[in-house]
Amino acid sequence: MMTVMFKEENKAILEALLFVASNPVKLEELSKIVSLTQEDTGELLGELKAEYQQSCRGFQLMESGDGFYLASKTRYAPYIQKLLQDNNSNRLSKASLETLAIVAYKQPITRSEIEAIRGVKSEKAITTLLEKELIKEVGRKDGPGKPILYGTTKGFLNNFGLNHISELPQIEDFEESIKNIHDEDKITNF
């Protein structure tokens, strides 16, 4: 049984670890670093999560398939957007977003297959996505020239708040939304 002082110190250590981690940290790794059982570490993480939810803090403790991480609360998104709106270095162009969506839904996919879907060259968009570590080379396709196959990364999942690629919205949902938008336009635009 942990004393209150010991518990608070270990929660502070876990908080510090999660604060500096650039990626989610697995329970096993956190347990090993703080020299506690996974059960005790999980209990402390649960307490931290509850404390963050009950207090007026700008961040929360999140858990994904890859582990635990700290993230800003969604209700503060407008303020964060104001801070980041001038920072274009993290923004993706329309071409990069289109390319990323194609890779996410059709992976593994080659550059020529992406270009066939988009109808334009995609080399620059692919390079940008590789540099930002949102996609990666996942192999080679059998056939002439053995073209590179691309797929999404864990960074992609983390950036979009997904645990698994299967959590992407279904394409049919988009098609229905677009149809509804066009139907509304017909009603409002005589």
Q: pLDDT digits over 25-80, tens only?
A: 999 999 999 999 999 999 999 999 999 988 888 999 999 888 999 999 888 888 88
What is the pTM assigned to this prediction?
0.51
- The H-or-E segment that residue 104 falls in is helix 94-106
In this structure, the answer to whether residues 127 and 177 fall within a common structural domain is yes
Non-local (6+) Cβ contacts of 105 within 8 A are: 168, 171
By three-state DSSP, how is residue 169 classified? coil
Query: If you average pLDDT over residues 155-171, what whole number do you get?
Result: 86
> CA dihedral in degrees (100, 104, 110, 113; nearest 10)?
-80
Are 59 and 74 spatial neighbours (Cβ–Cβ below 8 Å)?
A: no
In this structure, the answer to whether residues 97 and 24 fall within a common structural domain is no
CATH number of the CATH domain containing 60: 1.10.10.10
- pLDDT for the residue 160: 84
Tell which of 76, 111, 139 closes a domain: 76
Q: pLDDT digits over 100-145, tens only?
A: 999 999 999 999 999 999 999 999 999 999 999 999 999 999 989 9
- pLDDT for the residue 188: 43
Which residues are registered as beta bridge partners of 143? none
Tell which of 51, 76, 101 closes a domain: 76
